[in-house]
Every structure is written in structure tokens, then in C-alpha cells.
Structure 1
Amino acid sequence: MKTVAQIIQTKQIQQVHTIDADDTVLAALQRMAEHNIGALPVTENGKVVGVISERDYARKCVLQGRSSIGTKVRELMNSPVITVSPGQSVADCLSLITHRHLRHLPVIDNDQLVGLVSIGDLVKETIAEQEELIRQLEQYIRGEV
């Protein structure tokens, strides 16, 4: 099974976009729209302290009648942040996401943000691994190996 580091490499993303905890929710939404992403790690003094997503905006801002202009990211972000390391397996991450009801996991290496994996990334990798296993088993059954 692949590791988080291998997934990050295949994503070919040059930069992980972040937002500061004191920025407005509107700034976070603009950054997500600009980069066509659904969540941002939230930083404070260079450290990841949370995650904010479009889902957080919908549930914690819009549905509560709050303004995206006057609301700070820190008021909506999911915190404390749950992170993973590059060496963790896809299975470990899927278990964490399932049990904690998360959709995004910041990847931290030596106290530095090095990536962000989503539930979609993890499911895509799991499906690819299962398809490869099925292909290998079919070859074995046909005597091609």
C-alpha cells in the first residue's frame, strides 16, 4: 500500500495554498475559488492550526447568518488540526478520516506543511490498488504469471 508521500508526489502540486487564521472568510473563499480547491490549511505564525473548507463556510457561516466579510477564519476553522506524516499509509489515513469524519488531512514533515490529502485522493489510490490486484489475480488464474 502506498504512503502519503507517494500520493503527494503523484498530485504534482507545486504549492500547498494556506490562509492565515486572522484573514476573513471571504479571503479564504476567494483563495479556494482561485485555485479550484475545497479546503485550506489555516496557519498562525507559520504553523498549521486548523483547516477551513467550503463545507465549514456553508454550515458555520451561511446557515448561521454570519458575514463572510466580517468573520475571521479562526471562527470557522476545524481545530485542533489532525495531521498525518508522509510515511503514513493510505489505510491509516482512510481509517483516520472515517473515524474522525474528516475530508482533508494536512501532511506535516519536520513541523513543516508539505501537502494536503483529501478523501478523494485516498479513495482514488485505494481503487487503483484494488484494480491492480484484480488484474494480477486474473493473470494468475489464467496461468500468465
Structure 2
Amino acid sequence: MAQVSDILDAKGRDVLRIDASATVLDAVEAMVEGNVGALLVDDGGRLTGIVTERDYLRRVTLEGRDERTTPVRDIMSAPFVYVGPDATIDECMAIMTERRFRHLPVLDDENELAGIVSIGDVVKFQSREQGVQIKFLTEFISG
């Protein structure tokens, strides 16, 4: 059964981070520049949360906060949910669906960051896997 590590091997393990004391505007700019929907948040060299586009909409826009002065730590989701690299793709999909997450950090056995997967990564991986299976079955039947 496919694991999260298979997705990370294909897409890479680079993850954008931001300091907890940075402004929300800094976070939005970093997400736009990186073309990502989430950043992991560091506080004193320790991962403490995740900030997403949804956090911005709910905790800045709707609450009327100023993105130029509000620190990321005030709007980030913490503690954050994560999986290990050996988690199955099905487990990731279940967590993302049940908790309504679009981004899931991956931490190894030493709680070191191994990467992050998005719902788009999971769907792309599943689609590719199904394509391979369909091709194999078609060749088998055609014989």
C-alpha cells in the first residue's frame, strides 16, 4: 500500500516556513511567492504551528485584524496535526477529509520535519496510481 513517503519522494521534501513573530502580511507574501497555501511556523527554532490561507480568511479578514501588524502566532493553527512518512495515503485522505485539512505536515520518528503533503498532492498521486493500474489491467485483458 502506498505511503506518504512515496508522495514526498516524487514531489520533494522542501517546506516553506515562517517565524511566529513575522506579520501575517509577510506570511501571505511568502505563500504567494512560493505558490503554496500553507507555511509551517517556527518559534525559536521549534515547529509550533501551521498557517494557511483559511487561517487568514477566518482570523484576519473576518475578525477585522490588521495583517500588517498581527503576528503569525496570533492566527496560526496550533497544535498542528501531522503524520509520519509511513502513514498510508488512505490514512492521509481520511484525516484530511474528517478534519477538513488541505495540508498535512510529515514528521519523522525524531519529530523532524520530513515534508508536507497537500490534498492536491494526494489526488495527483492517486490518479497516477490508478492510471498505472488501468494500463496494467488493459494489457492483461488484451493479452
Q: How does 1:21-32 map to 2 (within 5 A)?
A: 21-32=20-31
CA distance in 1, matches of 2:16, 2:3: 21
Equivalent residue of 1:64, what SS?
coil
- Which residue of the partner structure matches residue 37 of structure 1? 36
Give the distance between the partners of 1:83 and 1:46, measured in 2 at CA.
Answer: 18
SS at match of 1:102: coil
Mapped partners of 1:5, 1:141: distance in 2: 32
Q: Which residue of 1 aligns with 2:10?
A: 10
Aligned match of 1:139: 139
Q: 1:116 and 1:12 mapped to 2: Cα distance?
A: 9
Give the count of matched residue pairs. Answer: 142
**Structure 2 unaligned blocks of 5 or more:** none
Tell me the secondary structure at the aligned position of residue 40 of structure 1: strand
Q: Secondary structure of 1:19's partner?
A: strand
CA distance in 2, matches of 1:97, 1:128: 19
Q: Is the 8 A contact 1:48 1:81 kept in 2?
A: no
Q: What CA distance in whole angstroms lies between the structure 2 residues aligned with 1:66 and 1:57?
A: 10
Letter in 2 for 1:91: D
Deviation at residue 122 of structure 1 after TM alignment:
0.5
The residue type paired with residue 70 of structure 1 is T
Point out where structure 1 has 5 or more consecutive residues left out of the alignment: none
**In structure 2, C-alpha distance between the alignment counterparts of 1:92 and 1:12, rounded to whole Å:** 20
Give the superposition deviation at 1:2. Answer: 2.3
* 1:43-58 matches, cutoff 5 A: 43-58=42-57
Map of 1:73-92 to 2, 5 A cutoff?
A: 73-92=72-91
TM-score, normalised to structure 1's length?
A: 0.90
Identical columns (%): 42
Q: Which letter does structure 2 place at the counterpart of 1:8?
A: L
Q: Using the TM superposition, give the Cα deviation of residue 118 of structure 1 relative to its aligned residue in structure 2, in angstroms.
A: 0.3
Q: Deviations over 1:99-125 (max 9, x none)?
A: 111110111112211211000000111
Task: Give the superposed CA RMSD.
Answer: 1.4
The whole-number CA distance in structure 2 between the counterparts of 1:6 and 1:43 is 26
